[in-house]
Structure 1
Amino acid sequence: MGFSKDNLKGFVLALLSSGFIGASFIIKKKGLRRAAAVSGVRAGVGGYSYLWEPLWWIGMITMIIGEAANFVAYAFAPAVLVTPLGALSIIVSAVLAQFILNEKLHKLGILGCVLCITGSIIVVIHAPQEQAISSVQEIWSMATQPAFLLYVGSVIVLVFILVFHFSPQYGHTNVLVFTGICSLMGSLSVMSVKALGTSLKLTFEGNNQLIYPETWIFTFVVATCVITQMNYLNKALDTFNTAIVSPIYYAMFTSLTILASVIMFKDWEGQSAGNIVSEVCAFVVVLSGTILLHVTKDFERSPSFRGNYTPLSPTLSTRLCSGNGEMLKHDEEDDLCADEVCSRSHELYT
C-alpha cells in the first residue's frame, strides 16, 4: 500500500520519539543509581528516593517529550507502523551508553543495530494506511467489540495475578514479572493513547470531541496504565540490568501492542497476505537485532570478570559470578558496586 502523508508524519514523530526515549533510559538509570547510593534503598525493593534526584527527573522529562511525540505519532499512523520503530530507541541507548556509561558496543552489536534499522525500513514500506475515523464514539465502538473486551479482560486478570501473586515472590529474581506487567499495561495504554490522540486531532480540526464522555474515559485509562507501567518499569530497571530489561520489554510490549491493535483497529484488514507476512518478518528481523545488540553489549568485557573478581572493600559481601548468570548476595548499600563489577549480560539480585 502507498505511504500516505499521515503515515509520513507518524514515521517522523516516531523517529523523534525514539531519540528522546533512548536517551531517557540512560539518564534515568544514572539517576536511579545515584539515588540508591544516597538513600541506601533501591527502587526495585520499594524505594522512592529517586523522586528527589534531579538527574532522574531530567530523564523523566526527556522520556515525557519522547512519549509526547509518540502520542502524536499514533494519531497519524497505525500502531503496526509506530510501535516497531521503538527499536530505534535501543540503538540510541546503546550509542549513548558507550559514551556515558562506558559500555563498549561490540561489533556484533553494530550488526544488531543494522538489523533493527533494516527491519524498521521494511515495516515502514509495508505498513497499512491509517483508517479514517470521524469521532471518538467510533473508536469506542471498536474498544467495546467482544474480541477486544476479551483481550482487555485477559490482560487485567494477568496483571492482577502478576502483581499480587508473582511480584512479591519472584519479582526480584525473575525479570519477566516486572516487564510482563509493563508490557501488558503498555498494550492497553497505547490503544487508549491512540484513541485520545485521535480525539484531540479531530478537536483541533474543528470537530470537538471533548464533549463526549468517551474521550475522558480514554484519558483516565491512559493515566492509570501509564502510571502503573512507569512504576514497574522503574522496578525492572533498578532490579535488573538494562541489557536484560530492554530487549525483553521491547519484545513483549511490541508483540502485545500489535496484537491489541490488530484486534481493536483491524490494521490488517484490506492488506494482502504478502504485506502481512512482510510486516511479521520485518518485526522478527527487528527483534533479532534487538536481542543481538543487548546480548553482545559488553561481550568483550565479561570474560575478564569471570572467576577473577576480588572484593573492592572489606565491607562488600560475597559475589558469585558465572558465565550464565550472577547470583549477587550483598547489602543494599553495596548494590551499585556490584552492578559495576559483575558482567552486564545476566544479573539476578537476591
Structure 2
Amino acid sequence: MNFAIIGTGMISHIHAEVIQSLDGHHLTWVHSRNERYGADFARKYGCKHSTDLEMLLMASDIDAVAICTPSGTHAELIIQAAQHHKHVLVEKPLDIALEQADEAIQVCKENGVKLGVIFQLRFMEETKKAKRILEEGLLGALIEVDTYMKFYRPETYYENSSWKGKQELDGGGALMNQGIHGIDLLLWLAGSVSSVTAQVKTLKHAIEVEDTAAAIVNFANGAMGIIQGTTSIYPDHPQLLTFHGTKGTLELAGTEVPYIRTLHIQDRPELTINHPAVPVDHLGEAHKQQYIDFIEAIEQDRQPLVNGAEGRKSLQLVKSIYQSSLERRTVEVPQR
C-alpha cells in the first residue's frame, strides 16, 4: 500500500518511520501548507510533497492517508480524503465536535473506505493482557474503576504551538488532548459510561481550555469511578488506571507503555503481580501494531479494531464531561 501523510508536526515523524518499517508498504507523499516544512519532510523520508491537498488526493500512487494535523481539522480532512476514495488513519481525537465526527464516519461509509483512529495503547501487550483478565471475569463484577492522568506541561508547550490550548483547534485541554488516551482505555477495558458529574477548570496555564479536570462516572455495568486529568501539576506522573472488582484488583500503569503494575485475585495467588520493572519505551511500536491492523482491515475488508465508532466513544465522554461542568449538573451519556 502507498500512504500519504497530511501534516508535518511532531507525531507525523512517528507515522513516517512506521510506514517505512513495514515491508511492502511505502510513504509516497506528504502534504504541508508550508512549502519549506513539506520539502524538508520529503527530503528526510524520500517522498514527494505538495502544498495543494486537492492535487495530492487525486494522485494515483496513494491508497491511504494518515492525518497528523490539529484536532479541529480532523473531520474536514477525513471527509475530503474519503471523497477521493482514500482510506484514512487519523490521529486522536476523531475530531473535537461530535456532529463533524459523525459526518466523517458517514462519508467514509458512503465511499467504501476504512476509517481508523489512532489509540495505539490498545495494541500494547500488557494492555491486551488486562483486557483478557477483565473479559474472563477474573476480577469478578467491577465495583470501582478510576483513571488518573496527572501530567505536566510547561508554559512553553502552549506558547510554542499555534493551536494547542486554543479552543478553535484543540477543542479542550487536559482531557481532549492529553487525557483522551486514558479515557479510551477506560472505556475499552471497563465498558461504557452511563452518566458523569464533573468540573473542569483552568488553574495554571494562560490557555483557553482546561488544564485541570475531575469527574465522577457511573458505568453501564453498575460500577462507579473517577477521572482526573491535568497538565498543571509538577512533576509529571505516569498514567494509572485501577480496576477493583468483587474478586480482586488490577492496576494498569504507564503513560506511553502501559503495564500491569499490580494484580491481586482472591483465591488465585499464582496470578499475583507486584510492582514489576517499568518496561522500556519503544517509541512507535504501538503505532506500528495499529498500522498492521489497519492494513489488514483493508486487505480483509473488515473494520479496523479502532474504527470511527470506537474512536467516537472517548470524544462523546469528554464532551459529556465538559457539558456537566458547564451546566453544573449530572449528564447522561448517550449510548450508541
TM-score scaled by structure 2? 0.28
Higher relative contact order (CA 8 A, sep 6+): 1
TM-score scaled by structure 1? 0.27
